[in-house]
Structure 1
Amino acid sequence: MAASWAPRRAVSRPTRMSSLAVLFSWARAGDAATRQVATSASTNAPVSTRVLAAEWFHARTFNIQRIRSMKIAPRRSLAVSRIRPCCRTIHVPHCSGSGNGVLYDMRLLILGLALACAAFLAVGGCSVQEPLVGDGGEDANVDRVDGREVMVWRPASSGPHPTIVFLHGSGWEPADVERITGLPSHATYEGYLVLAPRGTGPEGGATWNAGNCCDPALSKGVDDVQFIKDVLNHYYDTGEARQGKVFLVGFGAGGKMVYQAACGGTKWLAGMAVVGGTLESPGCNPAEALPLMVIHGLKDESAPYFGGPVPNPWDGRQRVDNSVLRSTAYWGKLANCDVEPSRDSGEGWVEDRFDMCQDDLVVSLLTVTEGGHAWPGGRQVEPDAPQPSRRPDATARILEFFSAYR
């Protein structure tokens, strides 16, 4: 499971440790109270006033650092998104001292039209990006496992394939995974089998039993961890899914469910990505460390970045969430990562990477500085839901991250 690519190094390091590094350093400390916080991020047991005061202070410092980090110019190179030919936006760099760029859309080229625009940055470079999302589930098949729906996107080649299991957000349906994120069409082009099992609940109200969220699955005590394993066993038996090369992706409650599944045992997993979710699994004790990418909006109200009471929870059930920092630091500690993460930044995002970990694992926290509870680079879940930020492209970043472990 070793990575074959060198991790990106930081554009800049803050003069003070980020609060993510501080929380992770607590996990390495010998003090019993601090060890309780870091090694059991999922518990709600009280901790010392000193630790809570320190977290509050560093959370504020962390927020200020991210605002200041936006003054750092993004990298000059233009990242190449993995896209399906002739149906996605591509970027053609024309980087000079003035920083001009040209954006071509293949669909418009087919019609004989061209779309041009200029992007002026603080330094030379170009970065113009459209959300890379699909239109729906018309390329998918619907199977049933344990009486529940599983939407399946299959690559063109024969299996077994590395497999992505996408756990949808509360209130989504499996078909929404493509409409909102575009990940299935991108991933199948990369050779993945993509499975989107359905949670429990009425149409437009499906949820997962993910620790402290969400009804009706939570109140019914649904064993969603076993259901996910049953889904995978079904596709192992059909010869389509490759054992040992399974990746979990989740949004919101689906992100909490990713953590819940990983806490129940990780030997069957190759990696995971969580967007807009936190670790809420009591007694989390996975068998081994995993590569993890966390993407979270700093202004997320449905899963507050710094944790605490959730205003207006989706299912009406009052809860208190852990912070994104504590959730990420827990997995960094599990992988025996170096205490201080490297830092990279671009327009609208800051990434802290624990890239000095055992077995070349990487644990990454990508903070969307103006982001709410939405899939960056995707579409709105519904008209009154938060508007997704255009950058970063969460789908492209996740697939890039997984590519080192497939």
Structure 2
Amino acid sequence: MRIMRAEQFGLKREVEYGTPEQNETALRIVRDVKAEGDAALLRYTEQLDKVKLDASELRVTREEIEAAYGQVDAAFLAAIREAAANIRRFHEKQLRSSWMDLQPDGTMLGQIMRPLKRVGVYVPGGKAAYPSSVLMNVIPAQVAGVPEIVMVTPPATGGKEGIDPYILVAAAEAGVRELYRVGGAQAIAALAYGTDSIAPVDKICGPGNIYVALAKRAVFGAVDIDSIAGPSEIVVLADDTADASYIAADLLSQAEHDEMASAVLVTPSAALADAVAAEVELQLAKLPRADIARASIDSYGAVLLVDSLEEGIAAVNQMAPEHLEILTADPMKLLGFIENAGAIFLGPYSSEPVGDYFAGPNHIIPTNGTARFSSPVNVDDFMKKSSLIYYSKEALMKNGESIMTLARHEGLEGHARAIQIRLEKERGQE
């Protein structure tokens, strides 16, 4: 693992959202599904996923989901239920209510909170199957009150047997009632524009591969999206009190996601830097997904040596990582100085997988430095807000001249006259 000083380390990761060829492929798939519906959806499923279906087979049946329960072990079922309860409890605290503010002059202003009507959830299934992503997408939408939640996932996450049974069980436990065996850019297009088999949605959420990300970007505007997710990333800010084996394990927990995942240690301790670099090599040798993790560590892994924790904090804030672990003598003391991070893990027992799977906060978190301005998936992502305005006669008579002044300053006489006609009529009746 590379050990370097700040001046050698690129704090800003250069990210390109696909090659020109990948962009053109994603756009072509989106256009075809929009124009041809099920025909293109089925054609691309056969071509890209190597699964031949007809339209009647797209929707997963209740019998398939019930059969999946017989294929998962009891320990998984207990764990997924407990995790779901934790995730639901956390997100319920995010709920906001509509409000109205009545003024003495009779004016009433307010905000109405409503859930989206129909949301599409994408659950990936490329290098691995992710039942946890089902919970993290679906439960906040349920808490928000979304009445229609439709899930799509590639048709062969479980290999030749079809969809991974653990994904099906997670979907059932999360309360999904509408599930389709389709993935990739073609699934995103189907959710956005609809086909004979899949009704269109208002918003699409969930991570996926580069073609999924590019398709989400292409359909944004026709529907809303949560984000364009990039490769996973972790930054560990640590001093010489930290355990090198813990840090190495946590860095590798993200490196094993993807060859483009990023894992970085920031520390003022040269001894810790050496120890972690050595420990990463030891643990890599025993990791089942060692090839993926090795590629990640070699290309996007590093130890950044800084002169002080203060310099380390500045580096962290500039990187704005998806996941930040603080492993120092007093992590709470540093928390107030962290400005940019998607999720913050404090202390040696708050390993990143605690948040990925079980604690309750959402694990769909902004990547590629976008934690500077965006947030993890939350209940607000599945709600829309309407402003409420009831102006009384008294308020209009009092403020009408100011409203007309502003309208005429912008050259919008029609706006001004919409107020003026009311003022003149009301004054004429006095």
TM-score (normalizing by structure 2):
0.31
Larger Rg: 2
TM-score under structure 1 length normalisation: 0.33
Higher relative contact order (CA 8 A, sep 6+): 2
